[in-house]
């Protein structure tokens, strides 16, 4: 079987090589709209389309998890035994699997965060929206990761294109009444929590969501984090972004991690 490096073409999607058997990435706008619109059947069709674009459908079609990250909760599902991994849809915000397989979900700006431990042969995808993060999903994900054999010193972590802190803004009233209390509860430290947002010109509140996730990862001993890629909002000509493209119809990208 060809390695990832020998096979990948990036004409209509962004990708990052996690190792010689695994990539993580996300489709561009020119790949089409990957919003499943609540349809299980359509979600399967879109996941298949994403895998065909990457040329890895035949390699992982029987071990594909469609992560329907629509509940914005803290559930993480782990498949420590590859024989248990079957193509299916799961309503959760984190998936971990061993060996050959893939996870695909459909973000429109929220962070998709990929994990790979080559020695343990573990791969994973985490939906890094602010609600799952403030509900404590990072801690739950890392706990499942380590139970399955993943180690901080061997784990490579990559954020996929997502909205950056310059573009992730909220009205002050909403942020301070809804978002800020959740961050403070998560961190149990108001002084530290307040470092992850700032006010510019007394207007919008900018939320440093990606940096909050990095803080939580590093606090748990995970330092193999690659630099942030492009912002989906700033580069909305290239990626779908809910702040620019949502109207009567929603539009989403396909984010993935694939291990052959």
List pLDDT tens digits, range 15-66.
Answer: 999 999 999 999 999 999 999 999 999 999 999 999 999 999 999 999 999 9
Q: Is the pLDDT of residue 200 over 90?
A: no
Residue 156, pLDDT > 70, answer yes
Average pLDDT over residues 250-256: 97
Q: Who contacts 53 (Cβ-Cβ below 8 Å, separation ≥6)?
A: 12, 13, 27, 31
Read off the pLDDT band of 94 (50, 70, 90).
very high
Torsions phi, psi of 186, nearest 5?
-60, -45
Mean pLDDT within 116-145: 98
Q: Are 145 and 115 in contact (CB under 8 A)?
A: yes
pLDDT of residue 108: 94
Residue 10 pLDDT level (bands cut at 50, 70, 90):
confident
Split at pLDDT 50, 70, 90, the class of 6 is: low
Other CB atoms within 10 A of residue 90 CB? 16
Kindly state the average pLDDT of the residues 140-160: 98
Q: Over the chain, what is the mean pLDDT?
A: 95
The model carries a pTM of 0.95
pLDDT score recorded for residue 86: 94
> What is the reported pLDDT for 203?
79
Range 239-248 average pLDDT: 91
- Tell which wins on pLDDT, 103 or 10: 103
Q: What average pLDDT score do residues 250-255 get?
A: 96
- For residue 220, what are the contacts with CB-CB under 8 A and spacing of at least 6? 138, 139, 142, 152
Structure tokens at 139: 């801690």
């Amino acid at each position: 079987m060809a390695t990832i490096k020998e096979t990948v073409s990036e004409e209509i999607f962004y990708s990052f090589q996690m190792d010689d058997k695994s990539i993580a990435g996300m489709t561009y706008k020119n790949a089409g709209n990957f919003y499943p619109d609540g349809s299980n059947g359509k979600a399967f069709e879109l996941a298949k389309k994403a895998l065909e674009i990457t040329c890895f459908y035949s390699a992982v079609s029987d071990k594909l998890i469609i992560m329907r990250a629509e509940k914005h909760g803290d559930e993480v599902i782990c498949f420590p035994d590859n024989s248990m991994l079957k193509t299916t849809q799961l309503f959760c915000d984190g998936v971990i699997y061993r060996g050959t397989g893939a996870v695909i979900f459909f973000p429109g700006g929220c962070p998709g965060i990929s994990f790979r431990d080559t020695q343990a042969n573990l791969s994973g995808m985490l939906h890094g929206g602010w609600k799952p993060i403030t509900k404590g999903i990072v801690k739950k994900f890392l706990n499942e990761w380590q139970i399955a054999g993943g180690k901080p010193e061997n784990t490579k972590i990559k954020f996929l294109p997502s909205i950056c802190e310059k573009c992730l803004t909220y009205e002050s009233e909403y942020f301070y009444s809804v978002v800020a209390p959740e961050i403070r509860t998560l961190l149990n430290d108001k002084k530290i929590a307040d470092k992850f947002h700032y006010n510019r010109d007394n207007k919008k509140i900018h939320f440093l969501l990606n940096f909050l996730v990095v803080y939580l990862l590093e606090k748990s001993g995970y330092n193999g984090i690659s630099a942030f890629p492009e912002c989906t909002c700033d580069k909305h000509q290239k990626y779908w972004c809910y702040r620019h493209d949502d109207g009567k119809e929603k539009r989403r990208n396909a984010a993935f991690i694939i291990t052959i």
